[in-house]
């Protein structure tokens, strides 16, 4: 084989080897490029997904914020209306409370005038001692019940709506006891017997 032939063959082998290496590096480069492209695509897709999620979440938050704002506004209106209704109810209660206390005091004043009247009639009449004593006992009970009921009526001034019913009922019961005592005192006076000996002395 001549030197030229040997050289040509060597160059051909080198060319084939270089070509083979070139193909291998090309494929590796392409694979590397593909990986870069794939990763770039993945990153872009992830970024896009993240952006979309972020946008969706912002929209949801905005919607929620809007809903919350609307709900707060409505609740604020409801609260204001409830406060107004409460204020009106308290004003109405205060009016009826004052009216009831005035009525109780008027009735109490009428009952309070009775003991002195009964005492004057009993003192000016010649009653037998036993009946006079019974009338005075009834008057003592009546005066005691008048004092108790007057105290309860006075205390109603400081009673609020939460305890009004129970406290007013106590006053009503006390006034019923006053009426019972007043009736008993008058009955005792009406049924009292006159001491004839004192009558004849006049």
Alpha helices in 113-163 (DSSP H): 114-124, 129-155
The model's pTM: 0.62
**What number is the average pLDDT over the span 28-56?**
53
CB 185 within 8 A of CB 135: yes
**DSSP-derived secondary structure for 58-113:** HHHHHHHHHHHHHHHHHHHHHHHHHHHHHHHHHHHHHHHHHHHHHHHHHHHHHHHT
Residue holding tokens 């999620």?
A: 53
CB 161 within 8 A of CB 91: no
Percent of the residues in the chain that have a pLDDT greater than 70, as a whole number: 65
pLDDT recorded at residue 46: 54
Q: Cα separation of 55 and 45, whole Å?
A: 15
pLDDT recorded at residue 74: 78
Query: What band does 67 get if pLDDT is binned at 50, 70 and 90?
Result: confident
């Amino acid at each position: 084989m001549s030197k030229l032939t040997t050289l040509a063959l060597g160059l051909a082998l080198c060319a084939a080897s270089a070509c083979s290496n070139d193909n291998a590096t090309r494929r590796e480069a392409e694979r590397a490029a593909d990986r870069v492209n794939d990763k770039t695509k993945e990153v872009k897709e992830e970024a896009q997904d993240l952006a979309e999620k972020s946008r969706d979440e912002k929209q949801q938050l905005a919607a929620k914020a809007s809903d919350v704002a609307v709900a707060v506004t409505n609740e604020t209106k409801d609260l204001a209306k409830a406060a107004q209704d409460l204020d009106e109810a308290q004003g109405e209660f205060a009016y009826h409370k004052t009216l009831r206390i005035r009525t109780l005091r008027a009735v109490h004043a009428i009952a309070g005038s009775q003991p002195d009247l009964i005492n004057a009639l009993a003192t000016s009449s010649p009653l037998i001692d036993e009946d006079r004593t019974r009338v005075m006992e009834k008057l003592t009970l009546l005066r005691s019940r008048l004092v108790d009921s007057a105290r309860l009526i006075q205390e109603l001034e400081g009673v609020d709506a939460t305890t009004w019913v129970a406290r007013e009922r106590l006053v009503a019961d006390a006034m019923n006891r006053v009426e019972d005592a007043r009736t008993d005192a008058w009955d005792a006076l009406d049924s009292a017997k006159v001491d004839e000996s004192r009558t004849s002395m006049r």
